[in-house]
Amino acid sequence: MTNWTATLANLVAHSSPNDEAIASAKKGLLDYLASSLTAGQTETGTLLIRWFDEEGGNADIPLIGMHKNASARQAALYNGYLGHALDLDDVHTDVRGHPSTVILPALLSVAATGSFSGRRFLEAYAIGVEVMARLGLTIGAQHYTRGWHNTATLGGIAAACACAYLQRFSAEKIELAIGIAATQSSGMRNQFGTEVKPLHAGLAAEQGYVASKLTGLGLIGSKRTLDGENGFLSLYGDGTDNADALTSDWGDSWKISKPGLWFKLYSFCSAAFHAADACHELLSQDTFILEDIQKIEVIYPPGGDAALIHTHPQTGDEGRFSVEYIVALFLTNRTATLSDFNHETIPASIRQVMNKVTRQYDATIKPSPHAVPKGRFTIVRVHLENGNILESRVDAPLGSTDKPLSMDQLEQKLDDSCSEEQAVQIKQAVNGLDKAATLSELIEAVR
Amino acid sequence: MTNWTATLANLVAHSSPNDEAIASAKKGLLDYLASSLTAGQTETGTLLIRWFDEEGGNADIPLIGMHKNASARQAALYNGYLGHALDLDDVHTDVRGHPSTVILPALLSVAATGSFSGRRFLEAYAIGVEVMARLGLTIGAQHYTRGWHNTATLGGIAAACACAYLQRFSAEKIELAIGIAATQSSGMRNQFGTEVKPLHAGLAAEQGYVASKLTGLGLIGSKRTLDGENGFLSLYGDGTDNADALTSDWGDSWKISKPGLWFKLYSFCSAAFHAADACHELLSQDTFILEDIQKIEVIYPPGGDAALIHTHPQTGDEGRFSVEYIVALFLTNRTATLSDFNHETIPASIRQVMNKVTRQYDATIKPSPHAVPKGRFTIVRVHLENGNILESRVDAPLGSTDKPLSMDQLEQKLDDSCSEEQAVQIKQAVNGLDKAATLSELIEAVR
């Protein structure tokens, strides 16, 4: 019987991501920083910093965009939270969640005080994404639908592997680090729509950091913690039936490039992106005014809207996870801005349109082979008062791996997130990172 | 439909444990300190302190027995680990785990820098045990058998409630704290027999502390996080079918007194205590020498040995969770000492007896109404070479709630754990704690 934990640990220890993976890692790093800097100074971020000040600690690691340092654990928590604060950070469909906002902060907390090359850092990041994507494929769809938040539950193990690789742990040590991370795995989807959702990313980053730290200090826990009837894969998922996905063809291509990261232009849940693009198309193909609309049907494959837990959101915050809100918002304003997703009550004008939206599920519609995520589509069907019906179907939204952002669009996201000077510094540091002997330029740029 | 999370939070906020509960809490505190001080300076404890020194922080909270302070989070982790390091700390059968080593460290991390009366501290502890025991009853036996470590998974929520009560949070805030603790709930039984098992207690203490801290600072997460189809009770357990147990008859009696805490005299898993007492009885009722033994059967009700995950332990550490080892140890040495549970390989003489032990399960044997835990028994049946069969059955071992330790035995455990001077100080501080205006004497005594 395969020992999946040991097999995975061994692959991590002896990995060597290729140049394509490194190029993708540079894009992912740029997007993570843009997402974090766009969030900037948040209410929860301020609350965390107040706590850190009270707690004290050796302030070695930068809090992104804050011109302030904190301890390694504090920084992992904060930077993990920040990247996910606006839900503007990358998605990986194999993960069913957000890899970079967990893996990169954990890595930064290890790397900022050590002596690591830029290439090693990027490799470690690619390996973290690899582990998280493969865990997502192995653990199965049920994990998410039962109520787990994959970003959190899979992120800690992935971050631990990334940190372990960065520090050149032996395969045996990596297996132990996986165990210490796995036994902390947590995060429930019933926190979606609150500030605890992005905090999950920070908690997972911290867990991954702590797992690698304690392993490095010599703590010995169990091996084989993914395996067995009480192991991680069985307790949290469908067992080891799909565990082939965890290790097979390792290194033939890298998940960070294929299918790759999905970079987001909007600050709401990616499961509503298709509908947003469909609204865009409807608005461009025909002219109608809001008052003409009798009702709006949004059609998903069964379960395709699982992440969109709010059908009657009260605030913009909750609306982040409501296709009703997103459709109403786009049909009304033609776009979404950050201020559409705060604690304030949704305005009556939007609510009026929202009330016309119903969700439907159609298992008979064939998904496109280009669908992102696999098997997904969204149809927005607008019934007008005059009897006319307008319809738009989107299989893969802009930014997803089938319609990736151009480098210009990605750099624009960064430019919009911070000062011109900082944007230039970051682009320079990230561009040259694979050739940099140390991380000092990057660390300096992200402050 | 009942909102279980809000109902529980409301009960916690308006609780007032009676004098019987306070008396039990004083015993529990004494036993927790004795268990921690017996552990003393451990390898893992030293490793954690090395980490804390590197991390830094405002050292406000004592690390028990170390004449050293650490930050609130560090101390919660360390003191939680320490109390459970030897598995010598109390058990609660409703919890299916160890309440005090999670709840008390979290409380200490809040209390040591605040201004709280001794009575309030003891009340908070009793309420923590109440929540943890009722969570244990509600979440069902499957939670444990599937692979969760109840001490860890239920402890964080209980500790958060205790800390919230201590600080007089409103019912609404307590509901939020429950959510932040629940979404961090983790800990797998496949770490049993390693140092990560006691670390789980520390991690849960830290989670409970953090949940109350973040709630106190104003973080707003979801409410009703125990409820619903994706809520804690469904995701981790059998759902809300038994949720009555969470809140019904609250305050009629207190779980810390009825059934009460089970105080341990030996440093191994309580599921092997019955067998140890049975061996004692066999040795006293008859004279036989080890060489006379042909085979030994240990008979449990089905599933009664779930915690004893090692049938072929290699080290004393693993033997802590092996009835084969415990039976061999007691038949050979008539007792167990701390040195029987370290990293060293089990000696050949013990191994020889171990190899004669087999486990059996008998669903037809009727459990005693006095059994602790409910439905449990253990029969040790020794077959001698001459054909004779000796048998002893134990339904409730010494120290368990049906055969509680006397106050003398409990104080002896403390006396054995530290210097005479410290033991006197601790006894004095704990005895007078319910009348103490502050916790300063207690804090001074535990250093």
Interface test with B, best of A77, A175, A196, A314 (most B CBs within 10 A): A196
Pairwise CA distance, residues B90 & B67, whole Å = 24
Omega within 30 of 0 (cis) for the link into A373: yes
- Which residues have C-beta within 8 Å of that of residue A381, sequence separation ≥ 6? A296, A297, A298, A299, A389, A390, A391
Pairwise CA distance, residues A418 & A79, whole Å = 16
- Summarize the confidence of residues A119-128 as an average pLDDT: 98
| Side chain identity, residue A340 | D
Pairwise CA distance, residues A332 & A349, whole Å = 8
| Side chain identity, residue B307 | A
Confidence of residue A401 (pLDDT cuts 50, 70, 90): very high
pLDDT tens-place string over residues B267-324: 999 999 999 999 999 998 877 889 999 999 999 999 999 999 999 999 998 999 999 9
Give the pLDDT confidence score for residue B276 in this predicted structure: 97
Chain A residues with CB inside 8 Å of B199's CB? 219, 221
B44 touches chain A (CB under 8 A): yes
pLDDT tens-place string over residues A38-91: 999 999 999 999 999 999 999 999 999 999 999 999 999 999 999 999 999 999
pLDDT tens-place string over residues A357-382: 999 999 999 999 999 999 999 999 99
Confidence of residue A287 (pLDDT cuts 50, 70, 90): confident
Confidence of residue A343 (pLDDT cuts 50, 70, 90): confident
A225 touches chain B (CB under 8 A): yes
Confidence of residue A348 (pLDDT cuts 50, 70, 90): very high
Pairwise CA distance, residues B52 & B427, whole Å = 30
pLDDT tens-place string over residues A423-446: 999 999 999 999 999 999 999 999
A214 touches chain B (CB under 8 A): yes
pLDDT tens-place string over residues B39-62: 999 999 999 999 999 999 999 999
Q: Cβ contact (<8 Å) for A199 and B190?
A: no
Question: Where along chain A do its domains lie?
Answer: 4-265+407-446, 270-394
Question: What pairing do the DSSP bridges indicate for beta strands B293-300 and B378-384?
Answer: antiparallel
Pairwise CA distance, residues B240 & B226, whole Å = 9
Q: Mark which residues 302-361 of B lie under 8 Å from A by CB.
A: none
Q: Cβ contact (<8 Å) for A187 and B183?
A: yes
| Closest CA–CA distance from residue A57 to any residue of chain B (Å) | 4
**Per-position DSSP letters for A39-100, written without gaps between them:** H-S-HHHHHHHHHHHHH-----EEETTTTEEE-HHHHHHHHHHHHHTTS-S-BBTTTTB--H
Give the pLDDT confidence score for residue B285 in this predicted structure: 81
Q: Cβ contact (<8 Å) for B47 and A203?
A: no
Residue in A139, A156, A311 with CA at minimum distance from that of residue A239: A139
A1 pLDDT exceeds 90?
no
Confidence of residue A114 (pLDDT cuts 50, 70, 90): confident
* Residue B68 CB-half CA count within 13 A: 18
- Summarize the confidence of residues A312-331 as an average pLDDT: 95
B403 pLDDT exceeds 80?
yes
| Closest CA–CA distance from residue A370 to any residue of chain B (Å) | 31
Q: Mark which residues 93-152 of A lie under 8 Å from B by CB.
A: 146-148
User: Which of these CATH numbers, 1.10.4100.10, 1.10.238.10, 1.20.200.10, 3.40.640.10, describes B4-265+407-446?
Assistant: 1.10.4100.10
The torsion angle over the Cα atoms of residues B276, B279, B284 and B286, rounded to 10 degrees, is 180
| Token pair for B64 | 């028990």
| Closest CA–CA distance from residue A335 to any residue of chain B (Å) | 28
Q: What whole-number percentage of chain A has pLDDT above 90?
A: 94
Chain B residues with CB inside 8 Å of A77's CB? none
**B161 vs A284, residue with greater confidence:** B161
Q: Cβ contact (<8 Å) for B195 and A222?
A: no
pLDDT tens-place string over residues B343-368: 899 999 999 999 999 999 999 999 99
Is the domain covering B270-394 a CATH 3.30.1330.120 domain? Answer: yes
Chain B residues with CB inside 8 Å of A73's CB? 55
A194 to A74, A80, A272, A304, A310: CA distances (angstroms) = 21, 15, 17, 21, 12
Give the pLDDT confidence score for residue A302 in this predicted structure: 95
pLDDT tens-place string over residues A196-220: 999 999 999 999 999 999 999 999 9
Give the pLDDT confidence score for residue A446 in this predicted structure: 97
User: Are the beta carbons of A21 and A256 closer than 8 angstroms?
Assistant: yes
Confidence of residue A392 (pLDDT cuts 50, 70, 90): very high
Question: What pairing do the DSSP bridges indicate for beta strands B357-361 and B293-300?
Answer: parallel
Q: Cβ contact (<8 Å) for B47 and A217?
A: yes
Give the pLDDT confidence score for residue B289 in this predicted structure: 87
A53 touches chain B (CB under 8 A): no
